[in-house]
Structure 1
Amino acid sequence: MSEPPGSAVTPVRPPEPVPLTRDQPPTSAEEPGPTGPPLAERVLPLRHPWRWLATAVVLVLAAQVVHGLVTNPFYQWDRFAYWFLRPTILDGLLITLEVTALSAVLGLLGGVVLALGRLSRSPVLRAVSWTYIWLLRSTPLIVLLLFLYNFSALYQTLSLGVPFGPAFFTFDESRLATDMAIAVIGLSLNEAAYAAEVVRAGLLSVDQGQHEAAAALGLPRRFQFLRIVLPQALRAIVPGYVNQLIGLVKSTSLVFYVSLLDLFGSVQSLGSTYPGDIVPLLLVATVWYVLLTSLVSIAQFYVERRSSRGALRTLPPTPLQKLRASVRDLRARARKEAAL
Structure 2
Amino acid sequence: MQLSTMTGMLVQGYGVSLQIFFVTLVCASLLGIPVALGRLSRVRPLSAVVGLYISLMRGTPLMLQMFAVFFAPYYVFGIQTDSSFMFTACLIAFVVNYAAYFAEIYRSGIQSIPKGQYEAAQVLGYSSGQTFRRIVLPQVVKRILPAMGNEIVTLVKDTSLAFSIGVAEMFTTARALVASQRSMMPFAIAALIYWVTCLVIEFLLRRAERKLSYYHD
Indicate if the aligned counterparts of 1:84 and 1:284 stay in contact, CA closer than 8 A. no
Q: Which ranges of 4 or more aligned residues in structure 1 deviate by more than 4 Å?
A: none
C-alpha separation in 2, matches of 1:85 and 1:273: 11
1:273 corresponds to which of 180, 202, 206: 180
C-alpha separation in 2, matches of 1:184 and 1:139: 17
Task: Indicate the structure whose relative CO is greater, using CA pairs within 8 Å and at least 6 residues apart.
Answer: 2
Q: Which amino acid is the alignment partner of residue 67 of structure 2?
A: L
Match of 1:103 in 2: 24
C-alpha separation in 1, matches of 2:29 and 2:121: 26
Indicate if the aligned counterparts of 2:142 and 2:215 stay in contact, CA closer than 8 A. no
TM-score (norm: length of structure 1): 0.60
Q: Which amino acid is the alignment partner of residue 100 of structure 2?
A: A
Q: Number of residue pairs matched?
A: 216
Deviation string, structure 1 residues 5-47 (Cα, Å, up to 9, x no partner): xxxxxxxxxxxxxxxxxxxxxxxxxxxxxxxxxxxxxxxxxxx
| Residue 127 (structure 2) pairs with residue 206 (structure 1) | no
SS at 2:216 equivalent: coil
1:150 corresponds to which of 64, 68, 71: 71
Deviation string, structure 1 residues 44-66 (Cα, Å, up to 9, x no partner): xxxxxxxxxxxxxxxxxxxxxxx
Give the unaligned 5+ runs of structure 1.
1-78, 158-172, 313-340
| Residue 30 (structure 2) pairs with residue 119 (structure 1) | no
2:81 corresponds to which of 170, 174, 186: 174
SS at 1:150 equivalent: helix
Larger Rg: 1
CA gap of 1:141–1:83, structure 2 versus 1, over 3 A, is farther
Indicate if the aligned counterparts of 1:92 and 1:264 stay in contact, CA closer than 8 A. yes
Match of 1:187 in 2: 94
Q: Which amino acid is the alignment partner of residue 127 of structure 2?
A: P
C-alpha separation in 2, matches of 1:117 and 1:176: 35
Instruction: Name the structure with the higher helix share.
Output: 2
Match of 2:126 in 1: 219
Q: Which amino acid is the alignment partner of residue 193 of structure 1?
A: A
Match of 2:15 in 1: 94
User: Aligned-pair distance for 1:142?
Assistant: 0.8
Give the unaligned 5+ runs of structure 2.
none
Deviation string, structure 1 residues 85-114 (Cα, Å, up to 9, x no partner): 632111101111111010011111122211
TM-score (norm: length of structure 2): 0.92
Match of 1:306 in 2: 211
CA gap of 1:176–1:129, structure 2 versus 1, over 3 A, is farther
